[in-house]
Homo-oligomer: A and B are copies of this chain.
């Protein structure tokens, strides 16, 4: 059985939507998701970058993250044909560890926590595929990377890109000859 490593933020959990909501609430900036097209919010408002890190590096932030559309259903289906590893970069925000773990257990109860990996650099993750929104993680990962579209990466060139979980479903089911 081949193994798929799946990033958490922006792939399973809607990190940027929650951050925009919280920043808007605090500073009344009226940022929309369209404003983030091609630019991470931290670069859009560099003067708020430190404060955004404070907002993010909390237990409550990660507990509140909305689930990315279709990720639960598709991952459940893919788990019948692939071994699913969750590989999340957590070392920059250690206060999020438990919240991330609880969030995964809550929203993806069918996954095996023994295959959760909280890491930094994804060169440390062993899997056949990595689905991630960050070009640097895809580049450091040794095997087949798949860029998952997120507002910040829409202008990043990458040879294999998926825009949503339905595209991922088709891609991975076709590989194991399941009719889609």
A interface with B by C-beta (< 8 Å)? 5, 85, 87, 90-91, 94-95, 97-98, 101-102, 112-121, 123-127, 142
Closest 6 CB pairs of A and B: A114-B120, A97-B97, A126-B126, A118-B118, A114-B121, A94-B101
The contact of A98 among B87, B94, B112, B115, by CB within 8 Å, is B94
**Complex contact A124–B120 (CB within 8 A):** no
The contact of A121 among B94, B101, B115, B127, by CB within 8 Å, is B115
Greatest chain B CB density within 10 A among A85, A91, A112 is at A91
**Which secondary structure dominates where chain A touches chain B?**
mixed
A93 smallest CB distance to B (angstroms)? 11
**Complex contact A142–B115 (CB within 8 A):** no
A9 smallest CB distance to B (angstroms)? 16
Q: In the complex where A97-B97, A98-B95 touch, is A120 in contact with B116 (Cβ < 8 A)? A: yes
**Complex contact B118–A97 (CB within 8 A):** yes
A118 / chain B contacts, CB cutoff of 8 Å: 90, 97, 117-119
The contact of A117 among B98, B113, B117, by CB within 8 Å, is B117
8 further A-B contacts with Cβ under 8 Å, apart from A114-B120, A118-B119, are A5-B124, A85-B124, A91-B101, A91-B113, A97-B118, A115-B120, A117-B124, A117-B125
A104 smallest CB distance to B (angstroms)? 10
A156 smallest CB distance to B (angstroms)? 21
Assembly CA distance A101 to B100 (angstroms):
15
A87 / chain B contacts, CB cutoff of 8 Å: 124
Q: Closest B-chain residue to A116, C-beta based?
A: B91
A94 / chain B contacts, CB cutoff of 8 Å: 97-98, 101-102
